[in-house]
Structure 1
């Protein structure tokens, strides 16, 4: 592990050294020109953080991304239970898709591992780990049955940042995420714009008098001066409100990268070819297409969101190091291998030296901080409800999952004392994560890791063009 970290440090140092000596004749001028012409070749320190982009690229692309990609192929994380039938609480659903791949195919019950049907929580103890599920009362000890009651009570009372789906609802179904990947579906226009505009306009703490040009493809007669007015306002507000906006912008950017990277390039007689669409990527992020530096700001916000979720994973590691935490599917060999992969990933996140410092948030007057934190929580919880207004089933699935993943990360960040005080052998007291939260947390972070990895591919494609 130390050898890997040293190699990563050496790589980051080399990139840093090369960047600062690019005019000394030791690097080719043509390479320098290509880097400068590629608008997504981001460098430097991020706002509100003490981490540089080059360090994130190196650690993610060479260490984190390969690990989480392997982890998310395990049964525990590839099957995700979600309710895609919940009605939009704000307006009638009027969205539609233009590609058949918009649909989501639920898993037949026979395909779901038996152990995943057993409970709503991620933590199982004293389970009869066989392929035959049997009745719950016959596979659990009395201690575990008491634990289930405690878990349910704790989950219901927890200050969640997201409105989670009711997994007992008859409309909630398991989905195989590997067979329903996030892709461009053709879902766009007024319905899609309304979802994102509502997220930004109703939930970003800002007065309506401050205009914000949100969607680059949406019709607008506003100019760049209005955008600069928004950012001038944003820099004048407190850290918590800036971070909240950058979380939403980062999530939006990540989703936009996924759609640009998995684009339907050809569909001839049912033979589909998916791949990166450079022009779609440019429309969403190129300064020439997004009113100056807007596209670059969006990409930097992706890195801030990545740092925040990376920090959450590093802080929740002690929870999974407890002996009683088992990622239960009913297959003991599969479960042990999955937990080992998870612990390896969490150890890698803990080793990252430049984490986001959440202690700088809600650190002022205790009364004011408590009010601001509750406002922060309710705003984000409302965003999770807006995801039920997405008209495209595939987009709704991944929007809900990534929003719930971020909400779970926020829950972890502000539960430090509860995590630190966890008992070593008791599963029924203190901090808990449901199976739904855990699946969303890891898959949501996997999407961010994939976005940063895909940026490298778009850089190469843009330089070739």
Structure 2
């Protein structure tokens, strides 16, 4: 069944439970709607590849400062004392990874995002040993701040500002992926409650599912743009094992589909190079607001996902990433906004984030089927 697309103009609705305003939007191109359905049906082939990639050390370990200060709101009012929020640092971190991350760290004033600085408070965490789940932590303040303060708000109905709506849609997709992870975790023990949460958090939340698929399309566009680097990288010695899965991913029919690639084409065409700083400002703040999350597990996954979204925009909107000649290619390798300049942690976060979106889309399809089956049973009983 094709996805039913929203066709209304941009609308802001208030939701007390979690999200604040969430973007609804009209699709400026029929190919976007087609691309959403291509990704929806093609995700079953991509998901095993992304799961396999995320098992390798290159994509598992992230150095995070869980004690970094929050600059946006008081945190003493919403402390987290839930056992489910606590996580333990990783013990066996490859030494060459530590050295690579330390050597690559740099502070750029106008960067797309600033990852945690190596320090005595920064510890490595293994994403495979600290999976995303339902901790019962209330992140509503964080999401309201993101949607109301970090996302674009003014004159979004202007044709020249469509790219700002695309940005908001991508952030909404990140939010939807977190909701899907919560639903999946609840569903492991209580499918009925998970179905109720699916209806509340995704099905009935305006634009949530479409935003999720749109964010997934954007991340797949970024992975496609990274093809040359991803298929030649040695992944800190894991290259021979990683490359078969990575090659299958970047060469998949979904990533080659013109309708899927249209998502990035639209945002590139809409975004004037002189306005990209507005997106960079917001991706930096998106990473920083994650320091205000008081649940350690949520903070870890929030930071990695935010960095993945940041890397997506850096690849898609970075200056000079779409030139084709060899001299331009040489310049790109030294261009801080090119795919070749992404650090190890950014490349890893891009794949991890894409995998999270793929998992979230699978959750949507699972509970969409359960919901439709329940509706059919209800209709039959009424008849």
The answer, yes or no, to whether TM exceeds 0.5 is yes
Aligned runs of 1:246-285 on 2, under 5 Å?
246-263=169-186, 277-285=194-202
Q: Deviations over 1:269-290 (max 9, x none)?
A: xxxx899711122221343xx5
Query: What residue is the counterpart of 1:41 in the other structure?
Result: none
Query: What residue is the counterpart of 1:74 in the other structure?
Result: 56
Does structure 1 residue 47 correspond to structure 2 residue 30?
no
Secondary structure of the 2:301 match is helix
Secondary structure of the 1:174 match is strand
Q: CA deviation at 1:357?
A: 4.4
Secondary structure of the 1:183 match is coil
Query: What residue is the counterpart of 2:46 in the other structure?
Result: 64
Q: CA deviation at 1:157?
A: 4.7
Query: What residue is the counterpart of 1:139 in the other structure?
Result: none
C-alpha distance 114-303 of structure 1, shift in aligned 2 (>3 A)? same
Query: What residue is the counterpart of 1:215 in the other structure?
Result: none
Q: Deviations over 1:157-211 (max 9, x none)?
A: 5853222111x212111111111111111111xxx2221111111122325xxxx
Q: CA deviation at 1:96?
A: 3.5
C-alpha distance in structure 2 between counterparts of 1:362 and 1:457, whole Å: 33
C-alpha distance in structure 2 between counterparts of 1:113 and 1:422, whole Å: 36
8 Å contact kept, 2:231–2:243: no
TM-score by length of 2: 0.79
Query: What residue is the counterpart of 1:358 in the other structure?
Result: 264
Computing the radius of gyration from Cα coordinates, the structure with the larger value is 1
8 Å contact kept, 1:60–1:449: yes
Query: What residue is the counterpart of 1:319 in the other structure?
Result: 229
Does structure 1 residue 456 correspond to structure 2 residue 365?
yes
Q: CA deviation at 1:98?
A: 6.0
C-alpha distance in structure 2 between counterparts of 1:248 and 1:56, whole Å: 18
Secondary structure of the 1:454 match is helix
Q: CA deviation at 1:426?
A: 11
Query: What residue is the counterpart of 2:115 in the other structure?
Result: 164
Query: What residue is the counterpart of 2:96 in the other structure?
Result: 115
Where does structure 2 lack aligned partners over 5 or more consecutive residues? 5-24, 375-383
8 Å contact kept, 2:235–2:242: yes
Q: Deviations over 1:329-371 (max 9, x none)?
A: xxx4x4321133223212225423321343444657xxx9344
Query: What residue is the counterpart of 1:89 in the other structure?
Result: 71
C-alpha distance in structure 2 between counterparts of 1:265 and 1:390, whole Å: 25
| Equivalent position to 1:245, from 154, 159, 168 | 168
Does structure 1 residue 305 correspond to structure 2 residue 222?
no
C-alpha distance in structure 2 between counterparts of 1:59 and 1:378, whole Å: 33
Q: Deviations over 1:422-441 (max 9, x none)?
A: 89999984431211111211
C-alpha distance 374-235 of structure 1, shift in aligned 2 (>3 A)? same
8 Å contact kept, 1:98–1:187: no
C-alpha distance 424-300 of structure 1, shift in aligned 2 (>3 A)? closer
Count of aligned pairs between the two proteins: 340
8 Å contact kept, 2:268–2:316: no
C-alpha distance in structure 1 between counterparts of 2:327 and 2:141, whole Å: 43
Query: What residue is the counterpart of 2:311 in the other structure?
Result: 408
C-alpha distance in structure 2 between counterparts of 1:260 and 1:103, whole Å: 20
Aligned runs of 1:92-241 on 2, under 5 Å?
92-94=74-76, 95-97=78-80, 99-108=82-91, 111-120=92-101, 156-157=107-108, 159-166=110-117, 168-188=118-138, 192-207=139-154, 234-236=156-158, 238-241=161-164
Range with bigger deviation, 399-408 or 233-242: 233-242
C-alpha distance in structure 1 between counterparts of 2:355 and 2:193, whole Å: 18
Does structure 1 residue 445 correspond to structure 2 residue 361?
no
Secondary structure of the 2:262 match is coil
Q: CA deviation at 1:58?
A: 1.4
8 Å contact kept, 2:66–2:296: yes
Q: CA deviation at 1:97?
A: 3.9
C-alpha distance 256-422 of structure 1, shift in aligned 2 (>3 A)? farther
C-alpha distance in structure 1 between counterparts of 2:178 and 2:113, whole Å: 19
Query: What residue is the counterpart of 1:145 in the other structure?
Result: none
Secondary structure of the 2:226 match is helix
8 Å contact kept, 1:46–1:300: no
Where does structure 1 lack aligned partners over 5 or more consecutive residues? 1-14, 20-44, 122-147, 208-232, 267-272
8 Å contact kept, 1:71–1:342: yes
Q: CA deviation at 1:236?
A: 3.9
C-alpha distance in structure 1 between counterparts of 2:50 and 2:188, whole Å: 27
